[in-house]
Amino acid sequence: MPKTIISLKKGIPKTKRSWEELVSLGLNLREDKDKTQWQLGDLSLQVEKDYSADSLGKFSVEIGINKTTLATYRTCSGFYPKKTRDEFASLGHSFFQTAMRNNSLEEARAWLTVAHDNSWSCEGLRLEMDDKKDETETKKMDKMFLAIYKIIETVVKKFKKSQSASPGKFPNTVYLVSMIEKLKESLNKTVIELRKKK
């Protein structure tokens, strides 16, 4: 049993502890918790390997830990090699869970590095990742709207060209061009509104 837990088994001491001592004990307990989460994740991987993926539920009931919690620990353990875990050992297990949302070990390591170097909280890491995701989605949306806009412009030019080459041959072309122009204006307004919301 970790020494931190043993030192707390006697209950709250009658004498006041220093802030530094309390923080040190808290950090030790958090480290013990992180180690336990990694160990449970590794153990869950072993259970599934030796007894099938369906065995995790039975295992969770037998050890009294929620199956979803064990599955999260297992996924995290399977995602990060020991070398990465050791490299960022000062970060809590929750940092690793948050950073793996990108499904890329390289990206997760980059986020862990930034979180470590900037002394972010796990919530800070999550917020930064969300901001980056929003920024990426905005860029994708801009590219999509630009592509649609270019298609509309090309269609309008072709219709106008065909109309001027053969006036009266395609009577609905004028109406169609006006509808496409309205669509183009609507698209512009939508892009402007979406950018205002960001």
Q: pLDDT band for position 138 (50/70/90)?
A: low
Domain count, the chain: 2
- What is the extent of the structural domain holding 74? 3-128
Please give the pLDDT value at position 121.
Answer: 92
> Average pLDDT for residues 65-70, to the nearest whole number?
95
For residues 69 and 124, membership in a common domain is answered with yes
Residue at a domain's end among 81, 104, 128: 128
- Give pLDDT tens digits for 173-188: 666 667 777 777 777 7
DSSP H or E segment with residue 140 = helix 122-165
CA distance 13 to 163: 91
For residues 15 and 74, membership in a common domain is answered with yes
Please give the pLDDT value at position 161.
Answer: 73
For residues 147 and 115, membership in a common domain is answered with no
For residues 13 and 108, membership in a common domain is answered with yes
25 vs 198, more confident: 25
Residue at a domain's end among 128, 145, 172: 128
Q: What tokens were used for 76?
A: 């995290």
Residue 191: CB atoms within 10 A of its CB come to 16
Residue at a domain's end among 74, 97, 128: 128
Please give the pLDDT value at position 3.
Answer: 47
C-beta of residue 119 within 8 angstroms of C-beta of residue 143: no
Q: Which of 3-7, 80-84, 146-150, 161-165 has the lowest mean pLDDT?
A: 3-7
Average per-residue pLDDT for the chain: 82
CA distance 184 to 148: 9
- Give pLDDT tens digits for 84-106: 999 999 999 999 999 999 779 99
